[in-house]
C-alpha cells in the first residue's frame, strides 16, 4: 500500500517510522490483570488471523507522531481493522485503506491537533441562536465517539447535550476524494424526541438530521470531495441489532428523502455541494420569511464549519 499516491499524498509516511505503537498499545495497562491478559490474547488472535493487514496497519500507526496521542487516549483505534466498520461491504483490507486514507487526508491538511483534541472532548466549531434565544452549537468529536461508524462525529448540541450526531470519514473511490457517512442518530432516552422537536422549532423548521447532512456535503465540497457515500440499511454495522428490533432508524428512507441515488452495493450516493438557496418562487409568500430564516441558520453554521476546518489550513 503506497500512501504517497492519490489525492491524500503527504499525510502519512512523511516522518521516520518508529515502532512506538505495537499490538500491546491496544490494551490499556490499567485494566485488572485477568481482563488485561484476556484482551491481549483476543487482540493477538485477531492479529494472527489478519497477519498481513495487521503489519500494514501498524506501519500506518507509526507513520505520524500524532497517532501516539490518539492511541494512548483511544486504544480501541487498533481494533478498527478487525471489526465491521462504517459499512458491512468493507473487508479488513478495505477498512485499512479507508482508515489510512482518512488520516492521510486530515493530517496533510493540518487538522491533526484538532483531531487529537476532539478525541478527548467536543471541539466547538460554531453556534447559532434559536428563535427564543437558545444557543445551538456545532461540536466535533473523533475516534471513539460512534467508533464503528466513522472517525469524525459532527454534533449539534444544546447546552452541551447532543441533539443529533453524524459520523463521517474521508475516503477515496476511483482515485477521487469522497466523504462517507456511517451513522446519523438522535439522543437516547425518553426526552430525545422532544429535544429534536424543540430544536426544529428553534431553528425555524430546520430538521437537525437534514442539517447535519447538508453541512457535511458543504464541508466535502470545500475540501474538494465530489461525492458523499451514505450507508444503507442492509450495510449498517449494527445490522444485527436492527434485526432484533433494537435499532429502528430507516436510513434508506432518509437518503431517498434527500434525493440520494442507490448504489449497486446497497449504499447511497449524493453530490458534495455548497448550501443551496431556496427557490422563493416555489414558496408561498406568507412562508418566505421563515424560509429565509431557515436558510440563514444553515448558512451561518456552514460558514462556521468551513472556517474552522478548511480556511485556517489554507491560510
pLDDT in tens, 181-227: 999 998 876 688 899 999 999 999 999 999 999 999 999 999 999 99
**What tens digit of pLDDT does each residue of 232-243 get?**
998 998 766 666
Q: Give dist(CA 292, CA 288) in Å, integer.
A: 6
Contact 229, 181 (CB under 8 A): yes
Closest CA to 178 of 243, 74, 295, 86: 86
Mean pLDDT of the chain: 88
pTM of the model: 0.90
Q: Residue 270 has which C-alpha cell?
A: 449524493
pLDDT at position 276: 87
Q: Residue 247 has which C-alpha cell?
A: 435499532
Under DSSP, the state recorded for 276 is P
Q: What is the CATH number of domain 116-314?
A: 3.40.630
- What are the strands of the beta sheet with 176-185, ordered from one edge? 123-129, 135-142, 152-158, 161-173, 176-185, 227-230, 268-271, 261-262
Contact 78, 62 (CB under 8 A): no
Residues 292-315, mean pLDDT to the nearest whole number: 85
Taking the domains of the chain in order of start, what are their residue ranges? Answer: 23-108, 116-314
Cβ neighbours of residue 109 under 8 Å, at least 6 residues apart? 11, 223, 310, 313
pLDDT at position 7: 43
**What tens digit of pLDDT does each residue of 3-33 get?**
445 444 455 554 444 568 999 998 888 889 9
| Burial grade of 133 (CB within 10 A; 0-12, 13-18, 19 or more) | exposed
Residues 129-146, mean pLDDT to the nearest whole number: 94
Residues 34-63, mean pLDDT to the nearest whole number: 93
Bigger pLDDT: 10 vs 143: 143
Amino acid at each position: 500500500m503506497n500512501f504517497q499516491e492519490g489525492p491524500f499524498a503527504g499525510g502519512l509516511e512523511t516522518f521516520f517510522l518508529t515502532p512506538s505503537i505495537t499490538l500491546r498499545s491496544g490494551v490499556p495497562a490499567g485494566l485488572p490483570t485477568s481482563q488485561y491478559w484476556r484482551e491481549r490474547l483476543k487482540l493477538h488472535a485477531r492479529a494472527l488471523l489478519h497477519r498481513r493487514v495487521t503489519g500494514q496497519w501498524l506501519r500506518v500507526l507509526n507513520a505520524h507522531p500524532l497517532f501516539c496521542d490518539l492511541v494512548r487516549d483511544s486504544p480501541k483505534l487498533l481494533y478498527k481493522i478487525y471489526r465491521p466498520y462504517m459499512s458491512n461491504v468493507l473487508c479488513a483490507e478495505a477498512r485499512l485503506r479507508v482508515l489510512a486514507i482518512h488520516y492521510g487526508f486530515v493530517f496533510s491538511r493540518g487538522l491533526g491537533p484538532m483531531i487529537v483534541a476532539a478525541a478527548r472532548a467536543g471541539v466547538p466549531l460554531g453556534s447559532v441562536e434559536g428563535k427564543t434565544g437558545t444557543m445551538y452549537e456545532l461540536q466535533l468529536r473523533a475516534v471513539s465517539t460512534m467508533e464503528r461508524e466513522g472517525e469524525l462525529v459532527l454534533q449539534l448540541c444544546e447546552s452541551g447535550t447532543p441533539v443529533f450526531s453524524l459520523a463521517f470519514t474521508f475516503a477515496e473511490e476511483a482515485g477521487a476524494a469522497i466523504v462517507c457517512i456511517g451513522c446519523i442518530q438522535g439522543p437516547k432516552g425518553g426526552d430525545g424526541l422532544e429535544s429534536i422537536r424543540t430544536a426544529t422549532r428553534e431553528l425555524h423548521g430546520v430538521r437537525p438530521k437534514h442539517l447535519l447532512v447538508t453541512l457535511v456535503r458543504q464541508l466535502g465540497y470545500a475540501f474538494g470531495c465530489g461525492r458523499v457515500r451514505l450507508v444503507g440499511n442492509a450495510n449498517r454495522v449494527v445490522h444485527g441489532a436492527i434485526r432484533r428490533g433494537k435499532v429502528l432508524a430507516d436510513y434508506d428512507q432518509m437518503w431517498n428523502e434527500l434525493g440520494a441515488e442507490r448504489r449497486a452495493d446497497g449504499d447511497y450516493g449524493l453530490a458534495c455541494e455548497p448550501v443551496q438557496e431556496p427557490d422563493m418562487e416555489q414558496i408561498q409568500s406568507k412562508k418566505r420569511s421563515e424560509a429565509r430564516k431557515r436558510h440563514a441558520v444553515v448558512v451561518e453554521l456552514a460558514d462556521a464549519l468551513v472556517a474552522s476546518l478548511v480556511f485556517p489550513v489554507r491560510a
